[in-house]
A and B are shown apart, each in its own frame.
Chain A
Amino acid sequence: MTDMSLVDDVHEHEHDHHSHDAPSRFGVVGPIMVVAPLFVALLARGRVGALDADALRLWSTLFVSITVQALPFLALGVVLSGLIAAFVSPELVERFVPKRPALAVPAAGVAGLALPGCECGSVPIAGRLMSAGTPPAAALTFLLAAPAINPVVLVSTAVAFPGDRMLVLARFLASFVTAVAVGWWWSRRGADNLIEVDGHRHDGPSRFLRFSDTASRDLVHAGGYLVVGAAAAATLQLVIPRSALDVVADNELLSILLFAALAVLLSICSEADAFVAAGLPQFSLTSRLVFLVVGPVIDLKLVAMQSGVFGRRFAMVFAPVTLVVATLSAVAFGQVFL
Chain B
Amino acid sequence: MTRFARCVLLLAVGTIVVRITLDGHFNSFVQQRMRWPLLLAGIIVVGLAVVDLVIASRDDDETNQRPISPGVGWLLIAPVAVIISVAPDALGASAADRIDAYDPPAPIDPLAPILPETDPFPIKMLDFVNLAMWDETRALEGRQVDVEGIVVNDPEVADGFLLIRFVVSCCAADGIPIKVAVTGTPSAFEDDTWVRATIEWIPPDVPYQDENGPKFVEARLVDITEIDEPPGSPYESPF
Interface residues in chain A, defined as those with a beta carbon under 8 Å from any beta carbon in chain B: 13, 23-27, 29-31, 33-35, 37-38, 40-42, 44-45, 48-49, 54-58, 60-69, 71-72, 74-76, 79, 156, 159-163, 209, 212-213, 215-217, 219-221, 223-225, 227-228, 230-231, 233-234, 237-238, 241-243, 266, 268-269, 271-276, 278-279, 281, 308
Contact = CB atoms under 8 A, between A and B. Distances in A.
Nearest to B44: A75
B86 A48 contact: yes
Interface in B151-181: 167, 169-174, 176
Contacts of B34: 68-69, 72
8 contacts: A60-B88, A219-B45, A220-B1, A221-B72, A269-B170, A272-B174, A275-B167, A279-B103
Contacts of B8: 30-31, 34-35
Contacts of A34: 5, 8-9, 12, 74, 77
Contact of A163 (B9, B81, B108, B167): B108
B214 interface: no
Interface in B79-119: 79-91, 94-95, 98-100, 102-103, 105-108
Contact of B4 (A31, A48, A271): A31
Contact of A65 (B68, B108, B173): B173
B174 to A, nearest CB: 4
B62 to A, nearest CB: 7
Given A41-B82, A224-B73, A279-B103, 9 more contacts: A35-B8, A57-B88, A61-B28, A64-B29, A64-B82, A68-B26, A71-B38, A272-B169, A275-B169
A27 B79 contact: no
A66 B173 contact: yes
Contacts of A162: 105, 107-108
Given A30-B4, A58-B94, A271 B169 contact: yes
A61 B70 contact: no
A224 B76 contact: yes
B55 interface: yes
Interface residues of B, number: 77
B69 A220 contact: yes
A219 B40 contact: no
Contacts of B51: 209, 212, 216
B173 A233 contact: yes
Given A58-B94, A58-B95, A220-B10, A269 B68 contact: no
Given A27-B64, A162-B108, A279-B102, A220 B6 contact: yes
Given A23-B61, A30-B8, A237-B173, A242 B86 contact: no
Contacts, number: 243
Interface of B: 1-2, 4-6, 8-10, 12-13, 17, 20, 26, 28-30, 34, 37-38, 40-41, 44-45, 48, 51-52, 55-56, 61-62, 64-65, 68-91, 94-95, 98-100, 102-103, 105-108, 167, 169-174, 176, 238-239
A31 B8 CA distance: 6
B78 to A, nearest CB: 5
A27 B5 contact: yes
Contacts of A231: 78
Nearest to A70: B171
Contacts of B71: 224
A95 to B, nearest CB: 30
B45 A273 contact: no
B98 A242 contact: yes
A220 B73 contact: yes
